[in-house]
Amino acid sequence: MAQKLIELVRNEFSDSVLDSYSQHGDETVVIEPESWLALGKFLRDDPGCDMALLVDLTAVDYPQKTPRFEVVAHLASLRLGHRLRAKAAVGATDGTGAQIDSWSGLWGSANWAERECFDMFGVDFRGHPDLRRILLYPEFVGHPLRKDYPADRIQPLVAFRDAENIEKLPPFGPSEGMSFGRKTHDQWLTNRDAADDDL
């Protein structure tokens, strides 16, 4: 159903579309990040696309790939009934340089979606009117949905009281919350360097 849509996009952005495929009933188009804003405008304004609804905008972290983060947007057209997933990859392996144009001028829903994406992944959206954290408090350090952010790190704003069993405080102690599956993401927590600040 959205095959025509993919063809329209491919025709319009023939030199920046990197890939397109259909999987489990979803159509996806992968594009270079430099054309992100142009793609958004095209999808919204072109009568053959008419994607008035930006359903969701988020990112996924693939630490083994370069570029590392994949910004994923889901769009739908209420009038024509088709849907599309648009993806663009940004960011170096160490997490810096993740920049892409903001869609907040095209869809109002992009405003908060991009703020959340920035909050969780550290992706910078150029042109966003107010790119600050939305789900976490402003003093938070780091971007938690990155694979190299340890899930059991606590960042309390107020120091813990001097009490017993303090390491069993939530989220969890050292032997809880471990993934049962053989696969964990701990391999990305590579900083096990010996600390020698006292010397």
Partner 1 sequence: MEAPDIDLDTPSVTLDADPMLLKMGPAHPATHGTVRIIVELSGENIERADVQIGYLHRGFEKMCERGTWSQVFPYVDRCNYVSPLLNNVGYALACEKLLDLQVPLRCQYYRMMLGELARIADHLTCVSAMAMELGAFTPYLWMMKAREMVWDIFEEETGARLTHSFGRIGGMALPPTPGFTEHSQAVVTHVISVIGEAERLLLTNRIFLDRLENVGVMSADDAVSLGWTGPTLRASGIPYDVRKAHPYLRYGDVEFEVPVGVRGDCFDRFVVRLEEMRQSARIIAQCAERMPKDGPVNIDDPRIMLPAKDQVYDTIEGTIQHFKLVMEGIKLPAGEVYGYTEGGNGELGFYLVSDGSGTPHRVRIRPPSFYVTGGLESLITGQMIADVVPCFGSLNMIGGECDH
Partner 2 sequence: MATFQIDNKEIPFEAGDTIIAAAARAGIDIPHYCWHPGLSVAANCRMCLVELLPPPGRKAMMLDVLRWDAASGQYIKESKPKLVPACQQSVSAGMQVLSDSSDHVVRARAAVQEFLLLNHPVDCPICDQAGECRLQDYWLTQGPNKKRMNDEPIHKPKAVDFGPHIVYDAERCIVCTRCVRVCNELAKDPVLSVSQRGNLNEITVAPGRRLDHNYSLMTEVVCPVGALTSKEFRFKARVWFLNSVPSVCVGCSKGCNSLTDYDPRESKVYRYRPRENQAVNKHWMCDVGMLDYARIHEHRILEASIAGETVPRKAALEKAAELLRGVSGQKLGVVFGAEFSQEENAALLALSQVLGAETFFEAGRTPGNSDGVLMQADRNPNSAGVRQLLNSEPLPGSELAQRLQSGQLTHVIILGSTLKDARACEQVSQLTSGKRIVLASHQGPLLTGANVVLPVTTWAEIEGTYVNVEGLAQVSQQAIAPQGQALPAFKWVAHLARALGKSVASKSLAAARALFEAPPTASAESSHQAGAQP
Residues binding partner 1 (CB under 8 A)? 23-26, 28, 52-56, 58, 60-61, 72, 74, 78, 81, 83, 85, 107-109, 111-113, 116, 120, 133-137, 144-145, 149, 151, 171, 177-185
Q: Is 8 helix (H, G, I), strand (E, B) or coil?
A: helix
Residue 80 touches which of partner 2, partner 1, none (CB < 5 to 8 A by kind)? none
Is residue 47 a contact point for partner 2 (CB under 8 A)? no
Do β-strands 83-90 and 26-31 pair in parallel, antiparallel, or remain unpaired? parallel
Q: What's the min distance (Å) between Cβ of 167 and partner 1?
A: 18
DSSP state of 79: T
Strand partners, 20: 29
Is residue 94 a contact point for partner 2 (CB under 8 A)? no
- Whole-Å CA distances, 172 to 162, 179, 192: 18, 13, 20
Residue 176: exposure state from Cβ atoms within 10 A (0-12, 13-18, ≥19): exposed
Nearest to 97 by CA among 39, 156, 33: 33
Q: What's the min distance (Å) between Cβ of 96 and partner 1?
A: 21
- Is the CB of 155 or the CB of 184 nearer to partner 2? 184
- Is the CB of 9 or the CB of 51 nearer to partner 1? 51
Is residue 157 a contact point for partner 2 (CB under 8 A)? no
Half-sphere exposure of 186 (CA within 13 A, CB side): 11
Q: What's the min distance (Å) between Cβ of 54 and partner 1?
A: 6
Cα(49)–Cα(80) distance, integer angstroms: 8
Cα(140)–Cα(42) distance, integer angstroms: 36
- Is the CB of 17 or the CB of 120 nearer to partner 1? 120
Tokens of 45: 């304004």
- Is the CB of 11 or the CB of 175 nearer to partner 1? 175
Q: What's the min distance (Å) between Cβ of 119 and partner 1?
A: 8
Q: What's the min distance (Å) between Cβ of 3 and partner 1?
A: 17
Cα(125)–Cα(20) distance, integer angstroms: 24
Residue 134 touches which of partner 2, partner 1, none (CB < 5 to 8 A by kind)? partner 1
Binding residues vs partner 2 (CB under 8 A): 174-175, 178, 180-182, 184, 186-187, 192, 194, 196, 198-199
